[in-house]
Amino acid sequence: MSLENLILLTGRTINQGVALEGGKTTKENVRAAGICAIDKDDFKKLDSIVGTPVKITTDFGEVVVYSTISEEGPHPGIIFIPMGPWANQLVNPDSQSCGTPTYKGMKAKLEIIQTGKVLDALELIKTLKEA
């Protein structure tokens, strides 16, 4: 199952903030920021259960994260990934000459994947070092 033509937003969450302090390389950070919050009705269309890994793709990259139902809905057509290494695989690095990349509002696609691992922050960043 998949959803197309979504808009990806990123931003702070309190859990992500808590995980920043001393837990960036831990599972706590994965649970806090390696997730994608999906609108309740959009989630129904996926016919799957919370926690199923999903692959998110934008024009700028792709990443596998855990799916959750958004507590901050309804926001049909919008998905949210807390700021952090997972979201940053997908964001638009172009700052249009102002310095700040476009972290919000990318067009995105979401697919349920059967096999696929949600990497932790270090594993994910290591892929960039090796690239």
Partner 1 sequence: MVEKKINTVYDVVCPFCGTLCDDLEVDVNIKENLVVEVRNACQIGTKKFFSSNPSPHRYEKPLIKDNGTFKEVSWDEAIDIAADILAKSKRPLLYGFASTECEAQSKGVELAETLGGILDNTASVCHGPTLLAEQDVGVPTSTLGEYKNRADLIIFWGSNPVHAHPRHLGRYSQFVRGYFRKDGRNDRFIIVVDPRNTHTAQIADLHIQVNPNEDYELMNGIRAMLRGVELDAKMISGIPIEKIKELIKILKECKYGVIFFGMGLTQSLAHHRNIDTAICLTRELNDYTKFLITPMRGHYNITGANTVFTWNTGYGYSIDFSRGYPRYNPGEFSSVDLLMRDEIDASLIVASDPASNFPAASVKNLFKHPLISVEPHHTPTSENADIILPAAFAGIECEGTAYRMDHVPIRLRKVKDAPGECLTDREILEKLILKVKEKLGE
Cα–Cα distance for residue pair 123/103, rounded to 1 Å = 22
Rule CB under 8 A: say whether 103 interacts with partner 1: yes
Please count the other Cβ atoms lying within 10 Å of the Cβ belonging to residue 54.
25
Question: Measured from the CB atom, is 43 or 80 closer to partner 1?
Answer: 80
Question: Measured from the CB atom, is 2 or 104 closer to partner 1?
Answer: 104
| Closest CA relative to residue 66, chosen from 95, 93, 37, 42 | 37
Question: Measured from the CB atom, is 47 or 58 closer to partner 1?
Answer: 58
Rule CB under 8 A: say whether 89 interacts with partner 1: yes
Coil/strand/helix, residue 71: coil
Question: Measured from the CB atom, is 22 or 114 closer to partner 1?
Answer: 22
Contact yes or no for 37/3 (Cβ under 8 A): no
User: Which long-range contacts does 94-103 make (Cβ < 8 Å, 24+ apart)?
Assistant: 103/10
Rule CB under 8 A: say whether 88 interacts with partner 1: yes
Instruction: Tell me how far, at minimum, the Cβ of 36 lies from partner 1, in Å.
Output: 13
| Closest CA relative to residue 91, chosen from 131, 57, 130 | 57
Interaction residues for partner 1, span 47-76 (CB under 8 A): 60-61, 70-75
- Please give the size of the binding site for partner 1, defined by CB under 8 A: 53
Give me the residues that bind partner 1 (CB under 8 A), please: 7, 9-14, 17-18, 20-26, 60-61, 70-75, 78, 80, 83-85, 88-89, 91-93, 95-105, 121-122, 124-126, 128-129, 131
